[in-house]
Amino acid sequence: MIRRKICVFFLFLGIVILSTDALALIPEQHFGFYDFVLPGTTNPWEHSLDNNEFIPDLNGTEPNLIIEHALLLLSLNFKPHRNNIGRYGFRASVYLDGEFLGKIYYSSYLSNWVMDQLWARSITNSDILNKIADKSATIEIITSRGKLKSVYHSVLTGHGVVGPEPISMALVGAGLAGLPIAVRFRRLLRK
């Protein structure tokens, strides 16, 4: 009986060591990421997160990335539209992988060209964060007033945690759940 418990313990320990040893970051380890792009006149544009844009670096074998928070920062060059009372305005909507992030508003009596206007949006929506977890995000700006000239720079940054691998955890759980059944089955065979 004791020998059987020792065997089960070492088998379980071996599975845990093998499953965590293959990862650059172990489950529950926190990470950050930072991606800087110069889109220019390209709209939409892509943020592709390489393994070296994470802190600490990933090796690509991490099973499940859970993004907890992100931030998109844009530096925009645009031409506002002048209305009938002499006011210049710019209005646009920003999307990440088809999900609405927010609106850009600009209004002034002074300038008909705006260079390097900053727009930032904190991202907490779980659907959008899950889309960033696949290491790529397509950003699109759709204008409803005025004209977007270019995007000087686009920064996507944030942090998260490595989640456990769902398949491995399910297999380990099924194996542990099946141990009492296997013991009973062996007892039946002995009789």
| Superfamily for the 29-163 domain | Galactose-binding domain-like (2.60.120.260)
Torsion of CA 165, 167, 170, 171, to 10 degrees: -120
Spatial distance between the Cα atoms of 95 and 42, rounded to a whole number of angstroms: 14
Given a cut of 90, is residue 89 above it in pLDDT? Answer: yes
DSSP H or E segment with residue 12: helix 2-21
Q: pLDDT tens digit string along 35-73?
A: 999 999 999 999 999 989 999 988 877 778 899 999 999
Given a cut of 50, is residue 1 above it in pLDDT? Answer: yes
Residue 190: both structure tokens together? 């002995």
Only one residue has tokens 């699109």, namely 140
Residue spans per domain, the chain: 1-27+164-191, 29-163
- pTM of the complete model: 0.72
Only one residue has tokens 């260079």, namely 115
Check residue 81 and give its pLDDT: 92
Express as a percent the part of the chain with pLDDT over 70: 72
Could you tell me which residue, 41 or 4, shows the higher pLDDT? 41
Spatial distance between the Cα atoms of 134 and 81, rounded to a whole number of angstroms: 37
Residue 106: both structure tokens together? 């600009």
Q: pLDDT tens digit string along 131-158?
A: 999 999 999 999 999 999 999 999 999 9
Check residue 16 and give its pLDDT: 54
Q: State the average pLDDT for the chain.
A: 82
In contact, 33 and 157? CB cutoff 8 Å: yes
